[in-house]
Each structure stands twice: as C-alpha cells, then as structure tokens.
Amino acid sequence: MDHIELRHIDYEYAASERAVTALRDVSFGVADSEFICVVGRSGCGKTTLLNILAGFLTPTKGDVLIGGRAVSGRGLDRGVVFQDFAQLFPWRTAQRNVEFGLEMKGVPRDERAKTAQRFLGLVNLEQFAGAYPHELSGGMQQRVAIARALAYNPSVLLMDEPFAALDALTRDEMQRLLVDVWRETKKTIVYVTHNVAEAVYLRSSSSSCMVSCCASGSSRRRRSFSSPTT
C-alpha cells in the first residue's frame, strides 16, 4: 500500500464572479521512502496540491490518506519547507529554530538540543548553531529549514520550490545536499518545482519519480522507481 494516497482530488477557489478550478480529478500514490517531484508551469495547482497534503487546505472533493489515515488538518507526521526565507523565526538561533517542532511535542530540553545539533550536522551547519537567521545566507537558511522539518521525525517531507530564490550555484549545491539527506533519512519526500531541469536532476540522482501537473489541474505520473536501498 502507498504511504501517501490522493484519490480523485478536486479543488476550487471561490472568486467574486465564478469558482476557479485549481485541481481536477488528481489521483496518484507515493510509496514509503519515495522521492517524488511534482513539476508544472506556474499557476497549474502545484502549491495547492502541496497545501492539501500539508492539511492547510481541504479539497473540494476527494480523499487524501497518509499512512492509511485520512488527512483532516495539520499534523506532526508532515514537515513542510517553503520557498520563502522568512519561514525561520528571526528571534531564534539556528539551533532554537530546529528545536521548535520538538518543543511542540514536549521533548525535554537536553534531548531537544542534542537532536537539533544532530540535524544541523546533517545539513553541515553545526558550526552555525548559535547564529540568527539574518546572519545566515539564503542557502544556509534553507538548510536550517530542512533540519527543522526533519528534527521532529515526520514521516513525510513536503517541499514547495525551496531553492527557487537561490542563485544557480547555491541551488545546485542544495539539490545535491537534499539527495544526500534523503538517502540518509529515507523520508518520503514530495518536491514541487516548475523547473524541469531541477526535476530531472533530482529524479536521476535520487531514483525518484515525476508527476506532471497540467494547466487544467490534472496530473500524470511519468515514471516510478524503487525506494532507496538500505
């Protein structure tokens, strides 16, 4: 059974004159530990789809299941990394940002600190644990965001064009880092992008699969591969 299941998902945004269809009859599954890229042009519904998976939006029609359970809102079984650098708390250091989800779960302070340091090490930022977001580059802030999303151990990592605002060299570096993190953690990842070259690179590097989003909102699975080897 797939770890993530989308069954005939529709979503409509209410507008002043008429409803705008963002997604229509979207159905696909994502296996446990699979890395999937959702690629399509701007405005085709990619972010809407990710927000439905995150529980930020409720589909107009259809069902979403994660681990066999219906998604009915936000949950700690999902970590989300956004495109905006401002997703970090500016008054918290890198380590304290990574600890946030653990605090929400009631994890003791010493254990939070140890876990945060481990995940900062995973993204090669252990030396910047005491730095504040404004003291970090854009790529470094996104690495902190990835560490924060992973630290409280969600089963699914949802990523909405997280490297789109980075320069080309940093973006390439972050793509390689993400593949390494996926191989280390074996998380189920859904990665949204409009960049076809990025999707092709991630697919070839991570043995992932690709789902295309059309302008009408429908989706089609392009190719599937096995999960990472242990």
- Give the separation between CA 158 and CA 203, rounded to whole angstroms: 16
Are 79 and 152 in contact, with CB atoms under 8 Å apart?
A: yes
- The least confident of 52-56, 121-125, 130-134, 163-167 is 163-167
Give exposure, 178-196, as e/b (b: 16+ Cβ within 10 Å). Answer: bbebbeebbbbbbbbbbbe
Tell me the C-alpha distance between 2 and 213, whole Å.
20
Helical segments of the chain, H only: 46-54, 94-104, 109-122, 138-151, 168-185, 196-206
11 confidence band (pLDDT: 50, 70, 90): very high
Instruction: Name the pTM for this structure.
Output: 0.82
- Rounded to whole angstroms, how far apart are CA atoms 175 and 181? 10
| pLDDT (tens digit per residue) in 112-129 | 999 999 999 999 999 999
CA distance 145 to 166: 14
What the chain holds in terms of domains, given with CATH numbers, is 1-77+154-230 (3.40.50.300), 89-153 (no CATH)
Give the per-residue pLDDT at 84.
78
Burial class (CB in 10 A: 0-12, 13-18, 19+), 74: exposed
Q: What is the DSSP letter of 133?
A: G
Q: Residue 229's pLDDT band (boundaries 50, 70, 90)? A: very low
Mean pLDDT of 61-86: 88
Q: What is the pLDDT of residue 88?
A: 92
Write out pLDDT tens, residues 38-57: 888 888 888 999 999 999 99
Least Cα distance to 171 among 132, 216, 202 occurs for: 202
CA-based max dimension of the chain? 55
